[in-house]
């Protein structure tokens, strides 16, 4: 046992000496946060898959293995996406309690803002049901303030994301214009209070948007399964309408359990051809940023056991998309990886250390650096906690 320890110690001494000399020759900087463009990265976090909410909106009995605290650093907006069927409110309440007392404060500490999704149809129909088709300004104001409190304010969140996937007629558009104009007094850029009002859509139907675009902080465009060609068409459409391209976010998705759609936005065998890479690159160069839906399904596939089960993620793709969207230089990502490797050195062998060090050195993009530590299989990863942005922000 003593002999083994001595050999291990000597091995570490040789490796450490070599690394020290290499660092003396060419020091690495990790000041990426001060030098990279200020792009926005948003995620849709499905609340019914948080470990604090079990048995809600699902028939899958697997336990939810992760929490909002596991989300990567570098996320700017968290859309707390939640649907609670009638009769399941008690099961959902522990999550919302934790959202208010634990999750929101921690995400705020990291610099992120949190919003709740509001379906466009529900927003307009709810007003009609309560006040009819000709509400007064005071009635709309009361309605809006109640919405903001119920969805966001009571949980200590930062705003609302209006989800538009409909083609409303002129009558509904006239009502929604009035709602959004009123909501914009309390949320978004015109409120000037740091809150967010986001418009989220999967098409180019401008009628519900064109009269009120100035009230929105960002527009998120769902282009699941599509590459930069569709992103460019979206950019042209909305900038021609007058919305700034630096407030546009392009959105992709991970495979949801039980979903019959096939988007294939990730491809670990051809990363450079994947939508996740090409859209992140386009967003960095042309838009305000990007977002991903069902972030808790990062790394999952449309095959079994993923299709019918809930599994813990390493967030390998999200971490990569954050780095690429925000434009972190490869040398700084590698510097963060080297530093993290030194931190976990006591838990691995000298031979494995040398191998991982060599893989970092040979990596040609952010995905390859992340893949040194992570696979999409959480249990097969060397260290799924590696987070280059966190490493850069928190330092040694």
Give the whole-angstrom CA distance, residue 273 versus residue 312.
Answer: 25
Average pLDDT over the chain reads 91
pLDDT at position 2: 31
Has residue 178 got a pLDDT over 60? Answer: yes
Q: Which of 230-234, 326-330, 391-395 has the lowest mean pLDDT?
A: 391-395
Q: With 80 as the cut, is the pLDDT of residue 34 above it?
A: no
> Which member of 35, 150, 165, 285 is catalytic?
165
Q: Does a structural domain hold residue 16?
A: no
Whether 391 is catalytic: no
| Start-end of H helices in the chain | 2-25, 32-35, 89-98, 104-109, 120-131, 137-151, 170-183, 207-210, 228-240, 275-286, 316-326, 330-344, 350-362, 366-373, 388-394
Residue 36 has pLDDT above 90, yes or no: no
7-21, 257-271, 366-380: range with lowest mean pLDDT: 7-21
Residue 228 has pLDDT above 80, yes or no: yes
Please tell me the predicted confidence (pLDDT) of residue 194.
97
Please report the pLDDT score of residue 206 as a whole number. Answer: 97
Residue 131 backbone dihedrals phi, psi, to 5 degrees: -125, 0
Label residue 8 by pLDDT band (50, 70, 90): very low
Decide if 365 is inside a domain: no
Contact 176, 164 (CB under 8 A): no
Instruction: Give, in order, the Cα–Cα distances in Å from 75 to each of 104, 131, 147, 255, 332.
Output: 13, 38, 25, 20, 18
66 falls within a domain:
yes
> What domain range includes position 239?
32-328
Percent share of the chain, pLDDT over 90:
89
Residue 29: closest CA among 327, 344, 336 = 336
Report the interhelical angle of 137-151 vs 170-183 (nearest 10°).
70
**Contacting residues for 204 by C-beta, under 8 A, at least 6 apart:** 233, 234, 237, 238
Of the candidates 367, 326, 387, 283, the residue with the CA atom closest to the CA atom of residue 33: 326
Strand bridging mode 248-253 / 289-293: parallel
From 22-36, 37-51, 56-70, 71-85, the region with the lowest mean pLDDT = 22-36
The secondary structure of residue 100, as a DSSP letter, is I
Strands 248-253 and 196-201, bridge-based pairing: unpaired
The span from the CA of 363 to the CA of 356, in Å, is 11
pTM assigned to the model:
0.90
Mind listing the pLDDT tens digit for each residue in 288-332? 999 999 999 999 999 999 999 999 999 999 999 999 999 999 999
pLDDT recorded at residue 141 = 98
Is residue 352 a part of any domain in this protein? no
What's the CA gap between 138 and 127, in Å, rounded? 12
Region 347-357: what's the mean pLDDT?
A: 97
pLDDT at position 394 = 84
Q: Once rounded to an integer, what is the mean pLDDT over residues 123-129?
A: 97
Distance CA 183, CA 270 (A): 44
Q: Do the domain assignments include residue 384?
A: no
Q: For residue 20, what pLDDT band results from cuts at 50, 70 and 90?
A: very low
**How far is Cα 53 from Cα 296, in angstroms, rounded to an integer?**
14
Backbone phi and psi for residue 41, each to the nearest 5 degrees, phi listed first: -125, 125
CA distances from 212 to 18, 53, 58, 209 (A): 60, 36, 36, 6
Query: Can you tell me the distance from the alpha carbon of 176 to that of 143, in angstroms, rounded to the nearest whole number?
Result: 12
- The pLDDT, as a whole number, for residue 165 is 93
Using the predicted structure, report yes or no on whether residue 10 has a pLDDT greater than 80: no
340 domain-assigned: no
CB 57 within 8 A of CB 305: no
- pLDDT beyond 70 at 18: no
Domains identified in the chain, total number:
1
Give 33's pLDDT tier (boundaries 50, 70, 90).
very low
User: Quick one: what percent of the chain has pLDDT higher than 70?
Assistant: 90
182 within a domain of the structure (yes/no): yes
Q: Is residue 363 part of a domain?
A: no
Distance of CA 53 to the CA centre of its chain: 20
How far apart are the C-alpha atoms of 320 and 317, rounded to whole Å?
5
Give the domain CATH number at 244.
3.20.20.80
Q: Determine the average pLDDT of the residues in 225-239.
A: 98
CA atoms of 377 and 88, how far apart (whole Å): 31
Place of tokens 């305000």: 288
């Amino acid at each position: 046992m003593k002999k083994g320890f001595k050999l291990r110690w000597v091995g570490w001494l040789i490796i450490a000496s070599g690394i020290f000399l290499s660092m003396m020759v060419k020091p690495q900087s990790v000041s990426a946060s001060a030098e990279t463009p200020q792009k926005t990265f948003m995620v849709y976090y499905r609340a019914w898959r948080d470990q604090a909410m079990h048995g809600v909106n699902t028939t899958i009995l697997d336990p939810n293995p992760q929490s909002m605290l596991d989300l990567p650093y570098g996320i700017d907006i968290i859309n707390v996406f939640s649907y609670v069927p009638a009769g399941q409110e008690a099961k959902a309440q522990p999550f919302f309690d934790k959202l208010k007392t634990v999750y929101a404060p921690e995400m705020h500490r990291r610099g992120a803002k949190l919003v709740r999704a509001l379906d466009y149809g529900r927003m307009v129909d709810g007003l009609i049901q309560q006040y009819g088709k000709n509400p007064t300004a005071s009635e709309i104001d009361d309605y809006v303030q109640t919405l903001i409190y119920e969805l966001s304010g009571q949980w200590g969140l930062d705003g609302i994301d209006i989800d538009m996937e409909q083609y409303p007629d002129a009558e509904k558009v006239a009502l929604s214009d009035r709602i959004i104009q009123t909501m914009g007094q309390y949320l978004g850029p015109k409120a000037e209070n740091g809150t967010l009002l986001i418009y989220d859509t999967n098409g180019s139907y401008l009628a519900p948007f064109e009269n009120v675009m100035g009230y929105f902080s960002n527009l998120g465009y769902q282009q699941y399964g599509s590459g930069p060609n569709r992103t460019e068409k979206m950019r042209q459409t909305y900038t021609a309408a007058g919305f700034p391209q630096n407030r546009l976010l392009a959105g992709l998705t991970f495979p949801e359990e039980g979903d019959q759609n096939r988007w294939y936005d990730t491809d670990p065998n051809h990363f450079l051809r994947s939508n996740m890479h090409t859209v992140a690159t386009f967003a960095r160069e042309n838009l305000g940023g990007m977002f991903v839906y069902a972030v808790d399904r990062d790394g999952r596939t449309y095959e079994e056991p993923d299709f019918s089960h809930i599994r813990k993620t390493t967030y390998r793709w999200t971490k990569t998309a954050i780095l690429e969207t925000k434009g972190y230089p490869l040398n700084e990502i590698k510097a963060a990886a080297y530093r993290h490797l030194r931190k976990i050195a006591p838990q691995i062998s000298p031979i494995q250390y040398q191998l991982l060090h060599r893989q970092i050195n040979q990596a040609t993009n952010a995905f390859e650096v992340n893949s040194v530590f992570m696979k999409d299989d959480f249990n097969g990863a060397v260290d799924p906690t590696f987070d280059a942005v966190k490493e850069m922000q928190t330092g040694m």
